[in-house]
Amino acid sequence: MNQSQIDQLRAADVAQRGHIIDGKSVPASDGATMDVVSPIDGSVLTQVAKGTATDMQAAIASARAAFEDGRWAGQPPAARKKVLLKWADLIEANALELAVLGVRDNGTEINMAIKAEPGSAAGTIRYYAEALDKLYGEIATTSADVLGLIHKEPVGVVGAIIPWNFPMMIGAWKLGPALAMGNSVVLKPAETASLSLMRMVELALEAGLPEGVLNAVTGEGAVVGEAMGLSMDVDVLVFTGSGGTGRRLMEYSAQSNMKRVYLELGGKSPNIIFADAPNLDEAAKVAAGGIFRNSGQVCIAGSRLLVEEAIHDDFVAAVVKAAEAMPVGNPLDMTTAIGAVNSEVQLAANLGFVETAKSEGGEVITGGERILQDTGGSYMAPTVITGVTQEATLTQKEVFGPVLGVTSFADEAEAVRLANATIYGLSGAVWTSNLSRAHRMVKSVRTGVMHVNTYGGADGTVPLGGVGQSGNGHDKSLHAIEKYVNLKTAWIKL
Ligand code: ADP
């Protein structure tokens, strides 16, 4: 990737998009569309179909028909593998086009998007394609006169509701294992980031995925997402997004067919710095990257910095220096370290959190404001706020923006207490040279992922999932497969 290749794509016209149902692009049943606004400059990029409940029901019916006639689930594993591998190849072959389209839609800096979006999506789909014929059922340890077989069957129709921060990466986390196991899927991209994901769905059809096996419906969460949640014909619902929506999905499930619901929700992840960290300068740079990349719109973002008292002031100064050295600007310029906030709504919410933090005694050391307003886009300066108490809103509520709250601690016990003082448990990190302390902290911090002397970067071989109100179930790794299969016992009298 180089700047001139990006420049050739950054202003290309973007065609209007319909849903993808039964392998065809179709408009909304009532013809309605919604504007796709680029957070880079506030311009309208194109329109997508604004789906209705009827559209969602049609997509689910198509997925159900595809599942029941076995056009995908009934194919030999080797055939499914071939299609998925081809899909991964097509994503890679179109990586730059997909990445630029996605960035124009959601504002992530291109350096991150190229790796995290098509790069990671292709890798994820390939991982599950390669795994699908290496997974075996089980034979139970029974007495000699019976045989107990445990089969793993596809669940049927999977509904996947995707957020706007990394649509292709998170989309692939759901689509890869769901399709590998033979399910049909209906996808609901986020309102403000659907373009790259919809293009990725088209590439699946090009790769030979049979029509109806993967359908995608754009539109508002409260309309098409709700229709998916309430459907009697969706067997499993997988979701990444906010806690409020996650709670609704569980309610929809209870009100309808009690479908299984897997939620990857927010976090308020503690990044814990001990004075004996191996390299404090490195820790400060990684801490800044761990909250400010993609404008903090990362579910695992290290949004709470817990610093040992003895080094608090120096460490905060180093983080501030690192933050101020990260250029904020047009996400399609390769020199940009922090791109645009996804939407005006999100930007306003971020600024609201800053005001609340100030009113609760926090001190804004850098940032705290909207910048580059003359571009017409949505940009926010990376923000560091010190003096954040355990009770403060900034400790207890996820911002999902470039806002880092800093709290000091006296000793290991206090660090653990602070780390565990929220309803969340998604990610976290400890920086220390003391091996025993590192292991103690990994054990003591209640979270799904704990980093040691690094932040982020865990690849597809390890699971990602939360505890507490960060959710349930796992994306990535072979553990993700569990969400997309039913266990069936065959008990055979010999
Ligand atoms: P955010 O507030 O950060 O946009 P959401 O949880 O609202 O996070 O969005 C994540 C995904 O959930 C999006 O695809 C959105 O359209 C969808 N969504 C929002 N509200 C609902 C709802 N009531 N039912 C189903 N899906 C929804």
Q: Which residues contact 29 (CB under 8 A, 6 or more apart)?
A: 52, 54, 55, 58
Say how many C-beta atoms besides its own lie within 10 A of residue 439's C-beta.
12
Tracing tokens 């933050």 back to the chain, one arrives at 323
Partner residues linked to 493 by β-bridges = 146
- In this structure, the strands spanning 138-139 and 146-154 are antiparallel
- As a whole number of angstroms, the distance between CA 280 and CA 283 comes to 5
Ligand 1: nearest atom to the Cα of 244: 6
pLDDT tens-digit readout, 9-41:
999 999 999 999 999 999 999 999 999 999 999
Closest-CA residue, ligand 1 atom 13, reads 190
Contact 402, 298 (CB under 8 A): no
The ranges of the chain annotated as CATH 3.40.309.10 are 270-459
The ranges of the chain annotated as CATH 3.40.605.10 are 3-265+471-491
Q: What is the mean pLDDT of residues 440-446?
A: 98
* DSSP class per residue in 11-57: T-----B-EEETTEEE--TT--EEEEE-TTTS-EEEEEE---HHHHH
Instruction: Report pLDDT for 457.
Output: 92
Closest-CA residue, ligand 1 atom 25, reads 225
Instruction: Report pLDDT for 157.
Output: 99
- In this structure, the strands spanning 379-380 and 370-371 are antiparallel
- HEC string for 363-414: EEEECCCEECHHHCCCEECCEEEECCCCCCHHHHCCCCCCEEEEEEECCHHH
pLDDT tens-digit readout, 287-318:
999 999 999 999 999 999 999 999 999 999 99
Ligand 1: nearest atom to the Cα of 190: 14
Query: Given pLDDT bands bounded at 50, 70 and 90, which one contains residue 427?
Result: very high
305 CA to middle of ligand 1, Å?
A: 28
Nearest to 189 by CA among 9, 59, 43: 59
* CATH 1.10.3720.10 is the classification of domain 3-265+471-491: no
Instruction: Report pLDDT for 71.
Output: 98
Closest-CA residue, ligand 1 atom 27, reads 221
Instruction: Report pLDDT for 107.
Output: 98
One-letter amino acid for residue 351 of the chain: L
Contact 486, 260 (CB under 8 A): no
Closest-CA residue, ligand 1 atom 14, reads 190
Contact 254, 225 (CB under 8 A): no
What distance lies between CA 376 and its chain's CA centroid?
27
Say how many C-beta atoms besides its own lie within 10 A of residue 273's C-beta.
28
* DSSP class per residue in 320-362: HHHHHTS-BS-TTSTT-SB---S-HHHHHHHHHHHHHHHHTT-
Closest-CA residue, ligand 1 atom 11, reads 163
Ligand 1: nearest atom to the Cα of 191: 16
The CATH superfamily assigned to 270-459 is Aldehyde Dehydrogenase; Chain A, domain 2 (3.40.309.10)
Query: Given pLDDT bands bounded at 50, 70 and 90, which one contains residue 283?
Result: very high
- As a whole number of angstroms, the distance between CA 232 and CA 168 comes to 27
What distance lies between CA 48 and its chain's CA centroid?
22
pLDDT tens-digit readout, 358-417:
999 999 999 999 999 999 999 999 999 999 999 999 999 999 999 999 999 999 999 999
Residue in 36, 55, 60, 161 to alter for ligand 1 test, most ligand atoms within 8 A of Cβ = 161
Query: Given pLDDT bands bounded at 50, 70 and 90, which one contains residue 117?
Result: very high
Tokens representing 71? 């056009």
Residue 2 to residues 208, 298, 340: CA-CA distances in angstroms? 31, 25, 20
120 CA to middle of ligand 1, Å?
A: 23
| Alpha helices by DSSP H, 45-132 | 53-68, 77-93, 95-106, 110-114, 120-131
Tokens representing 449? 């992922």
Ligand 1: nearest atom to the Cα of 241: 6
40 CA to middle of ligand 1, Å?
A: 22
Instruction: Report pLDDT for 58.
Output: 98
Instruction: Report pLDDT for 56.
Output: 99
Ligand 1: nearest atom to the Cα of 165: 3
Tokens representing 396? 């207890």
Q: Any residues with Cβ below 6 Å from ligand 1, and which?
A: 161-163, 188, 190-191, 221-222, 225-226, 229, 241-242, 245, 248
12 CA to middle of ligand 1, Å?
A: 29
Instruction: Report pLDDT for 97.
Output: 98
Instruction: Report pLDDT for 254.
Output: 98
Ligand 1: nearest atom to the Cα of 242: 6
- HEC string for 425-461: CCCCEEECCCHHHHHHHHHHCCCCCCEECCCCCCCCC
225 CA to middle of ligand 1, Å?
A: 7
pLDDT tens-digit readout, 45-91:
999 999 999 999 999 999 999 999 999 999 999 999 999 999 999 99
Tokens representing 129? 């394609």
DSSP-derived 3-state class of residue 263: strand
Instruction: Report pLDDT for 352.
Output: 98
Closest-CA residue, ligand 1 atom 19, reads 221
Residue in 245, 253, 256, 299 to alter for ligand 1 test, most ligand atoms within 8 A of Cβ = 245
Kind and range of the H or E run holding 152: strand 146-154
Instruction: Report pLDDT for 155.
Output: 98
Ligand 1: nearest atom to the Cα of 163: 10
pLDDT tens-digit readout, 190-244:
999 999 999 999 999 999 999 999 999 999 999 999 999 999 999 999 999 999 9
Instruction: Report pLDDT for 451.
Output: 98
Instruction: Report pLDDT for 436.
Output: 98
Instruction: Report pLDDT for 466.
Output: 97
Active-site positions read: 264, 299
Closest-CA residue, ligand 1 atom 21, reads 221
Kind and range of the H or E run holding 169: helix 167-180
484 CA to middle of ligand 1, Å?
A: 21
One-letter amino acid for residue 36 of the chain: V
Q: Tell me 190's DSSP state.
A: B
303 CA to middle of ligand 1, Å?
A: 22
pLDDT tens-digit readout, 317-356:
999 999 999 999 999 999 999 999 999 999 999 999 999 9
190 CA to middle of ligand 1, Å?
A: 7
